A and B are shown apart, each in its own frame.
Chain A
Amino acid sequence: MTGLDPVIHAATRLRIVAALNALEPGDKVAFSALQKMLGLTVGNLSVHLTKLEAAGYLTIDKTFEGRKPATYAGLTAQGRAAFEQYLTDLKALLGETP
């Protein structure tokens, strides 16, 4: 047991959170852009976004652009704080300076 946050410590969710954390706070990325950026299937991305949203780490906004629906996802302040803590814990495990 590593003691790392189990919500984040899964390959796909870690990649999602790390990518979203690199954006400016308040920024949200389109579902299709996130899918393409990380090379994930629609279903797999959707499942992991749902888990992150349930943990309060992420918000999902559904909207219409013209007549087309669009979905955007972005990290919450809680999600950013959790990821920072996760990185601190990870670096400690690896013996890196936080």
Chain B
Amino acid sequence: MTDNPAAHQTAAEPPPGQPPSDPQPPEHHPPDPEPDLDPRLAMDLSREAAARGAALGSGVGRLDLATWGLIWLIGYGTLWIAAPDSAGEGPPAWAFVVFFGLLGLGVAVSAIAGAKHGGQLVGPSSQAGMLYGFSWAVAFAVGMSTAGIIVGRYDLSGAVVGVIYNFLAALITGSLYMAGSAVFKDPPMFWTGVVMVGLAPIGALVGLPTGYLVMALVGGGLMLGGFALETWRSRRAAQPRPSPRRRPT
């Protein structure tokens, strides 16, 4: 590897007619004038840049929290509002159309954001994030299709079917959040997962339609709370710190 990035680029010429994906540095570019850097300014610049780097390294976590928090809140909220009060009857078809439409929208947003982020970062965390994303897809596809097989085979009532799907959604989501805390070294993510897993027995105990309300408010609210917490942490990390008081001499 040579010292001049322009030389690297010459060695890796794009095919004719193909625009480069990265901006190309000029052959001889003098550095822009640098400000005088006192230690306090240096520390502030360092913290601000580290927060930006950490935000890039944390992937699409905040976007996912906001997206799925809203989807749980609106989707399960719709099922709860639309469900008749009498037990044994499920919500009308239109409510499920809204619910599954929102789920599809969430999957699309997560996939597009993940693909875009994947182009910015390469290395171990990128690979881990990709495998973690696949684990969501596999767990939900297998879990929900298996539930569908059970429901079809044993001719279960509408209320039982709803409880099973809610139980599975809470269990899978909570388990993957707990596993994700190990992948991304994020302890608050673990406790989010614990609460989500806790929704599984709670939803089964309270039955429907109250279970939909619990999923909307606790599940969706927890993810939106996580989004607010992550946003606050990110902004706080980027803020300059006050100078320590000088000791009297």
Q: Footprint of B on A, CB under 8 Å?
A: 2, 4, 9-12, 14-16, 18-33, 35, 37-38, 41-50, 53-54, 59-60, 62-65, 67-72, 74, 87, 90-91, 93-96
Are A33 and B56 in touch, CB under 8 angstroms?
yes
- Taking A23-B123, A59-B1, A94-B39 as contacts, is the C-beta distance between A18 and B50 under 8 angstroms? yes
Residues of B within 8 Å of A72, CB to CB, are: 122
Asked if B152 is at the interface (CB within 8 A of a chain A CB), the reply is no
Given contacts A21-B50, A21-B53, A62-B12, contact A42 B31 (CB under 8 A): no
Residues of A within 8 A of B56 (CB): 19, 22-23, 29, 33, 37
Q: How far is the CA of A68 from the CA of B119 in the complex (A)?
A: 12
B124 contact from A24, A42, A94, Cβ within 8 A: A24
- Chain B, 10-27, contact with A by CB distance < 8 Å: what is the 0/1 string? 011111001111111110
Judge if B125 is at the interface, Cβ distance under 8 Å: yes
Complex formed: what's the CA distance from A53 to B7 in Å?
14
Q: Shortest distance in angstroms between B40's beta carbon and chain A's nearest beta carbon?
A: 6
The reply to whether B46 and A18 contact each other, CB–CB distance below 8 Å, is yes
B241–chain A nearest beta-carbon distance, Å: 9
Residue of A nearest to B237 (CB): A22
List the B residue with the shortest CB-CB distance to A37.
B52
CB-nearest residue of chain B to A97: B244
- The A/B interface has a contact count, at CB < 8 Å, of 176
By size class, the interface of chain B is 35 or more
The reply to whether A48 and B31 contact each other, CB–CB distance below 8 Å, is yes
Contacts of A35 in B (CB 8 A): 23
- Ordered by A's residue number, 11 sampled pairs between the chains whose C-beta atoms are within 8 Å are A22-B49, A22-B53, A22-B56, A23-B123, A29-B56, A32-B23, A42-B25, A60-B8, A68-B14, A69-B14, A90-B42
Asked if residues A14 and B42 are in contact (CB atoms below 8 Å), the reply is yes
User: Cβ of A18 and Cβ of B53 under 8 Å apart?
Assistant: yes
B155 contacts A by Cβ under 8 Å: no
Beyond the given A18-B49, A33-B120, A38-B49, could you list 14 further A-B residue pairs with CB under 8 A, ordered by the A residue number?
A: A11-B34, A15-B49, A19-B50, A22-B49, A23-B56, A23-B57, A27-B122, A28-B123, A46-B5, A62-B12, A69-B14, A69-B22, A71-B8, A94-B243
Q: Which residues of B contact A18 (CB under 8 A)?
A: 45-47, 49-50, 53
Partner of B32, one of A12, A15, A19, A24: A12
A67 to B21, CA, bound (A): 9
B121 within 8 A of A: yes
Given contacts A26-B123, A69-B14, whether A32 and B22 have CB atoms under 8 Å apart is yes
Query: Known contacts A11-B45, A42-B25, A47-B31; is A27 also within 8 Å of B124 by CB?
Result: yes
Residue B181 lies at the interface, judged by CB distance under 8 Å to chain A = no
B9 and A62 contact, CB distance less than 8 A: yes
Q: Is the CB of A10 within 8 A of B37?
A: yes
CB distance from A22 to the nearest CB of B (A): 3
Whether A47 and B29, one on each chain, are in contact in the complex, defined by CB atoms closer than 8 angstroms, is: yes
Q: Give the shortest distance, in Å, between A87 (CB) and chain B (any CB).
A: 7
> Could you tell me the distance in whole angstroms from the C-beta of B59 to the nearest C-beta in chain A?
11
A33 → chain B closest CB, angstroms: 4
Checking A67, A70, A91, A95 against B15 with a beta-carbon cut-off of 8 angstroms, the contacting residue is A67
Interface contact B37-A9, CB-CB below 8 Å: yes
